[in-house]
Amino acid sequence: MKKIVVKRNRYVDSVTLMSVSERARKTEGVRGAEAVMCTPANRELLSKMGYEVAADAGANDLVLAADGEGDGAARALEAMEETLNRGRRTQKTYRTLDAALADAPYDIAQISLPGEYAGEQAMRALERGLHVFMFSDNVPLEEEKKLKTYAAEHGLLMMGPDCGVAQIGGVCLGAGSILPAGRVGIVGASGSGAQEVACIVASLGEGISELIGTGGRDLYPEIGGIAMMQGMRLLEADARTEVIVLVSKLSDGGVMEKVLACAETLQKKVVAVFLGGDEALFRGHRVIGAHSLEEAAIKAVAALRGREPAFGYSEEELNAVAARELRKYGKEQKYLRGLYCGGTFTEEGLIYYKKHCAGVPLYSNLQTKYTIRLQDKEISYRNTVLDLGAEDFTAEAPHPVFEPNLRIKRLKRELADRSVAVVTLDFITGPGVHEDPVGDFLGEIAAARAVRGDTFTLIANVCGSSLDPQNVPSVRSRLEAAGVIVTASNYQTARLAARLINALKERK
Amino acid sequence: MDIIGSGKRPAVINIGLQRFCDALAAQKVRAVQLDWRPPYKGSDEIGRLLDMGDLREKIDAANEIAVSKIIDGDPVWVDVLPAGEVIEGLDDYTVLHSGPPIDYEHMVMLHRRGMVSACLFEGWAKDEREAVALIESGKLKIKSALDTNTVGAGTGIITKSVAMIVIEDRATGKRAATFPAEGEFQGGFCGWGLYSEAIAENLRVMREEWLPVMRAAVQSIGGLPIKPILAESMQMGDENHTRQTASDLLFDKKILPAIFALDEDKEKLLAAVRYIVETPRFFHCFGQGASRTALIGADGTAYSTMVTAVCGNGVEFGIKLAGLPGKWFTAPAPMMKGKYTSPSYTEKDQLPWIGDSCVVECYGMGGLAASASPIVGSLRGLALADCIALSREMRKICIASNPNFPEPNLDFEFLPCGIDAVKVLETGITPEIHGGMFNYQGGLIGAGSARVPMECFVKAMREFRRVYGG
């Protein structure tokens, strides 16, 4: 069928028009597409092709003509309009919540404004009955308390501030991964921590009912775990959830007690990981305690299946890999450099090294009980572990999950340092983060290999789901093709790196 | 808790990082990005003017309508008529002038002289003394050209006997008339407010000999659409305020064959042809006429904050908004910066802004289209990159992009159009305007640019809030 549209007094130069028709011709089901000014010559041409051109169309008028099967002609016209309009920079915009809500209902407000403005918008959203996911940080604690209290009183979720990931009703928010549906419900105060647990659960063949984020400060005494307790009660009531996992860094003792006591009241099995906590934390509680993110995931799956799934390196495998790597190093190579982008991953790594690498001082940009603060965060010293997503770095450059340049530059410098033997990296995938988190690293790694050969060890883990747009299996295989050891989890990365650090220390 | 465990896929409003909204779209989630802006950090008053809640949505909707008059308009040159027959209310003893309204007493010398010239030209007075007496008696009605359906470029002296180019917007039926350049006298009577026997004779020749030929020619081809010429010339180095090099040629190409096809005395045709091709920037009045018809169409759009007039009278500078028809918002006229035609001129010789020709900026040309004309930019020492940056800056205060004007130097992004007074206050960016510099004594002494004073927008929005609340 043939279709024709005349646009009066619309001038488009002939070169542009060529590209307009060319693109439309590539549309499926299109036999022909013409975009021409209606000069006498073009009119004749169109007539010969069987188009009927309006008699009063003239040289100042633009003619779009298309021929195709079914709705092919209509689609070709659409494609031509689209090409003609590609220079348009404006579309229908909403400036206020009320304006958007007047046109259609919404359930969640996702807020990532600068902290000073985020609170006001969140309160507006809550007042209009929306749940809030707030990625923003730098929101005052009093404001967080006010928002969470209001939300809890009104049966709404206030996820955040400083909430990195969530998955609600199958919709992945923030910097999270798209997780398969399943029986494990998660309440997470630490973004990358909750995501790691969820992704490992998924890799073990299970799925996630809901992943409720609370924001990093929910267990601070000022907030008192409002969102975490609200979250676990919601999961208790949710029919799909069979096991609940709580994920956080260790916090104030009183709040930990309160949260654990709240978990006691639930009928469902609860697995909890509070990074930095010890056995004593869980003593006297019914909660299934875990001490690493992967352990929490494994125990959650075990709670579902009645037996623990196999995961990560066996001791033999670990020994074999370590022995192979140790043969590569020259005399001057002694040190580890951990270049993390996930805050919880850094913490989990540090906890592991502190426990398993006795007598090895660790330097970091962070101020923690596990590390010595670097004099200059730009210059690594001996064994250094960096959180490149921490505020001292992100104040100067975008967070590395969005924009890898900062971490790539740092990797280049570490690989140029002849005292470095091992570098660890974590990668995070998901629809909200960089579309190719590893691509630019591969070139840098190849460049270093060209200079130093295969004399150093790169260890990486990819926190992501097979449903993420980045294609996680290919991300892993591209890293492996570049000679990177890709582990099953952040914890496994730390295991292998710790094994190498210890061996290097003992090598005289 | 409706969304937990309900199996319902939530819909999301995203406020902040666009990438998070894109991530939702990639998951096929119903999501919308809120166009959130940080609260204005300028003066308290501007903060209050901008704190308008839901009124902003009404403004946005109204501005879409107003700007569609620019984008979807179809301006066509249809006729040549004496001003009295086409301009509303232009009777005997009425004189129009450029810029916001001003009385004789406060006018600059150029305008005063123009009033006298008008009385002499129309025969309302025998000599200057009589003309001044007539003016001072109050019998002479003095009006701002932009309060009628015309444009007063330069001094904008228009009386009923001046022959005008008539542009009709075939989309709305609105008509605007603009005066053509006066051949060898250039600005002459209308543009420069001058009067002499020779100028009067030239106006008569235009009216009775050249323009009838053009009128017959344009009617023989059923009218001449202006938009295609503007569109094509904007890709050929014109911004259609200071430069019309390409549009003049495109215009000639359309009209000359029609003139030669007329069954008329060859000498008469050639005289008209010479007039057209020998007058520099001849097409300027057509571009202004096309702009004016669109803006007349937009005027009166309730709740619209689109700017429909930007002009000066040498003393004050004024703007109008589509939603506040008939009202002026003024500030002292700015001085233009640019290049003088002779090194002997200095700022002392220069008159503050005079003229209505920024009607083309209101349409999205001139200063808003700076990137289209690096040649005009270089006149003021700007590099191409500076010109591009200017158009990009102007986008921030505009309502829409004009699909009629894809711009090569912007990689075919559409040029911005429709100045929004609210965005001017929000961003603190005022419109860049091009123009000609006038000597205190009369005559053009250079070309350059200025910015519309912020005060005009503050006053306009003050009145807007008074009228529309919010």
Q: pLDDT tens, B349-398?
A: 999 999 999 999 999 999 999 999 999 998 888 899 999 999 999 999 99
**A452 within some domain:** yes
Least confidently predicted of A303-307, B152-156, B187-191: B187-191
Nearest to A9 among B57, B227, B395 (CB): B227
Domain of residue A330 covers 315-506
What ipTM, to 2 d.p.? Answer: 0.83
From the CA of B182, how many Å to the nearest CA of chain A? 29
Say yes or no for a CB contact (<8 Å) between A168 and B17: no
Same domain, A325 and A445: yes
Rounded CA-CA distance B307/B319 in Å is 7
Task: Tell me which residue of B148, B399, B34, B336 sits closest to A128, measured CA to CA.
Answer: B34
Q: Is residue A93 part of a domain?
A: no
On whether the CB atoms of residues B303 and B58 are closer than 8 A, the answer is: yes
Is the pLDDT confidence value at A373 over 70? yes
What is the C-alpha separation between A87 and A104, in angstroms, rounded?
28
CA distance B13 to A326: 52
Q: Which of A8, A9, A157 to mutate to test the interface with B (most CBs of B within 10 A)?
A: A9
Give A86's contacts in chain B (Cβ within 8 Å). 412
Chain B residues in contact with A87 (beta carbon < 8 A):
401, 403, 406-407, 410, 412-414
Nearest CB among A97, A168, A170 relative to B34 is that of: A97
**Residue range A131-136: average pLDDT?**
97
CB B276 within 8 A of CB B411: no
- In this prediction, residues A420-435 reach a mean pLDDT of 97
> CA of B241, closest CA in chain A: separation in Å?
19
- State the number of CA atoms in the 13 A half-sphere of B42 facing the CB: 16
Residue whose C-alpha is closest to residue B399's, from B307, B320, B462, B317: B307
Separation CA A345–CA A354 (nearest Å): 14
A107·B60 Cβ contact <8 A: no
**B420, pLDDT greater than 90:** yes
Give the one of A94, A209, A235 whose C-beta lies nearest to B35's C-beta: A94
Q: Residue A380: is its pLDDT beyond 70?
A: yes
In the prediction, which pLDDT does B41 show? Answer: 62
DSSP letter (8 states) at residue B4: S
The answer as to whether A151 is a domain residue is: no
b (16+ CB within 10 A) / e for A207-244: bbbbbbbbbbbbbbeebbbbbbbbbbbbbbebebbbbb
Which of A292, A294, A295 has its CA nearest to residue A355? A292
Q: Indicate whether A494 belongs to any domain.
A: yes
Distances in whole angstroms, Cα of residue A480 to Cα of each of A442, A477, A485: 10, 5, 6
Q: Maximum CA pair distance of chain B?
A: 92
Position A396 scores a pLDDT of 81
- B44 close to A (CB below 8 A): no
Share of chain B above pLDDT 90, in %: 84
E strands present in B243-363? 307-313, 316-321, 329-332, 337-340, 354-355
Measured distance CA(A231)–CA(A217) in Å, rounded: 15
How far apart are alpha carbons A118 and A56 in whole angstroms?
Answer: 57
Q: Are the Cβ atoms of A104 and B227 closer than 8 angstroms?
A: no
Same domain, A425 and A276: no
Q: Are residues A224 and A335 in the same domain?
A: no
Instruction: Tell me which of A241, A274, A305 is where a domain ends.
Output: A305
Same-domain check for residues A221 and A325: no
Please tell me which of the candidates A85, A96, A135 has its beta carbon nearest to residue B53: A96
Whether A153 maps to a domain, the answer reads no
Structural element, H or E, at residue A293: helix A293-305
Segment B434-441 shows an average pLDDT of 91
Give the pLDDT mean for A217-245.
97
Name residue A446's amino acid.
Answer: A
Note whether B312 and B328 are within 8 A (CB): no
Nearest-CA distance from B306 to chain A in Å? 16
pLDDT band at B42 (very low <50, low <70, confident <90, very high): low
Q: How far is B454 from chain A (nearest CA, A)?
A: 23
B1–A234: do the CB atoms touch at under 8 Å? yes
Cβ atoms within 10 Å, residue A328 = 14
Residue A257 included in any domain: yes
Beta pairing partners, A288: A271
What CATH fold (topology level) applies to the domain B298-468? v583 fold (3.90.1700)
First to last CA, chain B: 35
Give the strand order in the sheet containing A269-275.
A171-174, A165-168, A208-213, A181-188, A243-249, A269-275, A288-290
What are the chain B neighbours of A56 within 8 Å (beta carbons)?
A: none
Give me the phi and psi of A337, to 5 degrees please.
-130, 115
Q: State pLDDT tens for residues A247-282.
A: 999 998 899 999 999 999 999 999 999 999 988 899
Q: What pLDDT sits at residue B380?
A: 80
Neighbours of B5 (CB within 10 A): 18
Torsion of CA A220, A221, A227, A228, to 10 degrees: 80
Specify the CATH class of B75-287 in words: alpha beta
Q: Residue B162 is encoded by which pair of tokens?
A: 């001046």
In a domain, A140, yes or no: no
The answer to whether the Cβ–Cβ distance between B23 and A136 falls below 8 Å is: no
Give the pTM: 0.67
pLDDT of residue A82: 85
The answer, for B204 touching chain A at a CB cutoff of 8 Å, is no
* A13, A86, A94: best to mutate for the B interface, most B CBs within 10 A: A94
Residues A336 and A290 in one domain: no
How many C-beta atoms lie closer than 10 Å to residue A104's C-beta? 10
Based on the domain organization, do A278 and A347 belong to the same domain? Answer: no
Which pLDDT does position B408 carry in this prediction? Answer: 92
Q: pLDDT averaged over chain B?
A: 94
Check which CATH number belongs to the domain holding A298 and give it: 3.40.50.261
pLDDT of residue A91 exceeding 70: no
What's the CA gap between B101 and B146, in Å, rounded?
A: 9
For the four alpha carbons of B468, B429, B234 and B269, in that order, the dihedral sign comes to positive
Choosing among B12, B232, B250, B419, which should be mutated to test the A contact, i.e. which has the most A CBs within 10 A? Answer: B12
Partner-chain residue, chosen from A94, A121, A131, that has the shortest CB–CB distance to B32: A94
Contacts of A106 in chain B (CB under 8 A): 10-13, 30, 32
Output b/e per residue, B115-126; b: 16+ Cβ within 10 A: bbbbbbbbebbe
Kindly state the DSSP code that residue B321 receives in the 8-state scheme: E
**pLDDT band at residue A88 using 50, 70 and 90 as cut-offs:** low
Q: How far is it, in rounded angstroms, from Cα B34 to Cα A99?
A: 9
Residues in chain A with CB shorter than 8 Å from the CB of B229 are 11
Residues of B in contact with A136 (CB under 8 A): 16
B35 in reach of chain A (CB within 8 A): yes
Domain range annotation of chain B: 1-36, 75-287, 298-468
> What six digits make up the tokens of B351?
């008159």
pLDDT value at residue B341: 87
Per-residue pLDDT of A277-304, as tens digits, reads 988 899 988 999 999 999 999 999 999 9
Classify residue B208 by its DSSP letter.
I
Tell me how many residue pairs between chain A and chain B have CB atoms under 8 A apart.
Answer: 191
Q: CA-CA distances (angstroms) from residue A294 to A173, A297, B149?
A: 22, 5, 76
Considering the domain architecture, whether residues A289 and A348 belong to the same structural domain is answered as no
- The number of distinct structural domains making up chain A is 3
B335, B345 in Cβ contact below 8 A?
no
pLDDT tens profile A459-470: 999 999 999 999
Query: CA of A501, closest CA in chain B: separation in Å?
Result: 39
Is residue A90 scored above 60 in pLDDT?
no
Partner A, chain B 225-244, Cβ-Cβ below 8 Å? 225, 227-229, 231-232, 235
CA dist., res. A81 & res. A83, Å (int)? 5
Q: How far is CA A249 from the centre of its chain?
A: 19
With an 8 Å Cβ cutoff, are A171 and B34 in contact?
no
What is the nearest CA distance from B203 to chain A, expressed in angstroms?
32
Q: For residue B323, give the nearest of B101, B39, B55 by alpha carbon.
A: B55
A250 in any annotated domain: yes
Which residue is it, tokens 């540090």? Answer: A350
pLDDT of residue A94: 80
Distances (CA, A) of B372 to A29, B145, B235, B242, B338: 38, 29, 7, 12, 18
Same domain, A362 and A460: yes
Do A299 and A173 share a domain, yes or no? yes
User: Do A296 and A369 reside in the same domain of the chain?
Assistant: no
Segment B221-231 mean pLDDT: 96
- Contacts for A301-309: CB closer than 8 Å, 24+ residues apart: A301/A184, A301/A201, A301/A204, A301/A205, A301/A206, A303/A242, A303/A243, A303/A269, A303/A271, A304/A183, A304/A184, A304/A206, A304/A242, A304/A243, A309/A204, A309/A205
Query: For residue A182, what is the nearest residue in chain B, using CA coordinates?
Result: B5
> With 90 as the cut, is the pLDDT of residue A394 above it?
no
> What integer is the mean pLDDT of B177-204?
91
